[in-house]
Every structure is written in C-alpha cells, then in structure tokens.
Amino acid sequence: MWPRSDALGGHADPRGGRSGRPVGGTLGVRGAVGAAGGLVFLLLALAACAAPKSSVFVLLPDAEGRAGQITVSNRAGAQVLDRPGQATRVTGPDRAPAAPQAIDDAEVRRLFGDALAAQPGEPARFILYFKGDSDELTPESEARLPDVLQSIRERRAGDVGVVGHTDTVGTRQYNYRLGLHRATRVADLLVAAGVDRSLLDLDSHGEDDLLVPTGDDVDEPRNRRVEITVR
C-alpha cells in the first residue's frame, strides 16, 4: 500500500503535461496521448513542518477507458506510465522514479478520493437532427429539447457548444452557412426557453465533419445535425 500521510491531491491532463519541484529538485511530467484522454494524479506526501519528501503519480483512464501515456522524469532517471492504474513514486531529485506498479481502484480512491471528487463531470452531449436542406428540426429531435434544457440547468453549465453540420449535398460554402443557420436555430430555441445566450458557443462544420462518411452530393439524414455539448 502506498503511504498517504498528510496529502495534497492535484491533477494534470497529460495532453499538456505537468512539472513540479519536490525536495528542491526538478521533476518533469511529459504526456503523449494523441486522441486519447486520461488523467495523471500527483500526491505529495508531507512530513510535519517539512518540505514534500515524496511524490506519487498514477495514470487514470478517461470515461472511455483511454489513458495514453506519460513520462515522469528527474535528473536521475525516468519512468513511462502507459497503462491505466500504473503508478510511480519519486522520493528525491537524486533518486530515479521507481519502477511502475499497478494500484487498484480502492487504493486510487484512498489516495486521491478528494481530488477525484473535485473533478468536473463528463460533458453531456446531444445530437439533434434536421429535415433536408433546412434549419427545421425533425419532430423526434424537437422532442429532445427539454432534455437539453434540463441538463443545462442541472449542471449549471458554464459553456454550451452548439455546432451545426450538414450532409454533402450542395457546395462547401453553402453547407457551412446552412450548418451555421442550424446552430443559430437551436440557440434561439434554447434562449427562448430561458438559457442565457452568453453561455452558447456557436460554430459550423458544414460538410467537413460527417457523422456517417459519404461521397459528395449524398443525402444522408444522420449528417444533418447539430451537436450540443453541455459543460
């Protein structure tokens, strides 16, 4: 079992990396995850009235089970964490990070429970579909608007992404404008229902981000959509 002592829990997304300075030395954390997500948590075990004497890093998967990898290094050496649940300990600037060990969910919760509890929840995502060459929602998608509104209110959302998409019928320029019209239409419906317009982030991908890959000039209903992300 990893000793906990008095602990400060922190976290970093390995897409950006993180560095710190335990025991007066320089500790580097470098992440490479590509499209994958994942979290790395840092636990500083503190002795009473003393500088941090050890650091524990553990790589956790994202909501889809992806973790990528991170490299934990100092001037004495480096270790790569590339599997969910792997952890390494660094006890000083002149001691290389320890060989990775697997820790189970119970130990992760014991060490990092407070930090995990403070993490924001995963964004809520909704897809609303449209009639052909139109900014009019299908009846089924219009019926889902109350679910979107409920999510925005319950999460006390600080940002709501609204991105319009189209199929490949028509020119790229036309479809960009159509995607923006669709995003604007949904935004107007949300505002009319009481959502603060300043929370809404509108964009259009036109035909450039197909849900269902097709060739040109293909009428595909599943590509005629607005994607809403509630954060």
Question: What tens digit of pLDDT does each residue of 135-179 get?
Answer: 999 999 999 999 999 999 999 889 999 999 999 999 999 999 999
**pLDDT band of 1, cuts 50, 70, 90:** low
Q: Are residues 174 and 104 in the same domain?
A: no
For β-strands 225-230 and 160-165, DSSP reports them as: antiparallel
Is position 10 within any domain? yes
Asked whether residue 15 carries a pLDDT value surpassing 50, the answer given is: no
98 and 155 assigned to the same domain: no
Same-domain pairing of 13 and 100:
yes
CATH (domain of 184): 3.30.1330.60
Last-in-domain residue among 96, 117, 138: 117
Is 1 within a domain? no
Q: Total structural domains in the chain?
A: 2
| pTM (whole model) above 0.75 | no
Find the domain containing 51 and state its range. Answer: 6-117
Contact 214, 193 (CB under 8 A): no
Same domain, 88 and 14: yes
pLDDT of 221 over the 60 cut: yes
Mean pLDDT, to the nearest integer, of 170-199?
98
Final residue before a domain boundary, out of 117, 137, 157:
117
Q: What is the pLDDT of residue 52?
A: 52
**Does residue 194 sit within a domain?**
yes
Range of 64-68, 78-82, 207-211 with top mean pLDDT: 207-211
What average pLDDT does the chain have? 82
Residues 104 and 138 in one domain: no
Region of 77 on the Ramachandran plot (φ > 0 left; ψ -120 to 50 alpha; else beta)? left
Looking at the domain assignment, is residue 98 inside a domain? yes
Is 186 found in the same domain as 90?
no
Query: Is there a single domain that holds both residue 137 and residue 223?
Result: yes
Taken in order 178, 183, 186, 187, is the CA torsion positive or negative?
Answer: negative
Angle at the Cα of 219 from the Cα atoms of 217 and 222, rounded to 5 degrees: 130
Give yes or no: residues 44 and 113 share one domain. Answer: yes
pLDDT digits (tens, 9 = 90+) for 97-130: 999 999 998 988 888 888 888 877 789 999 999 9
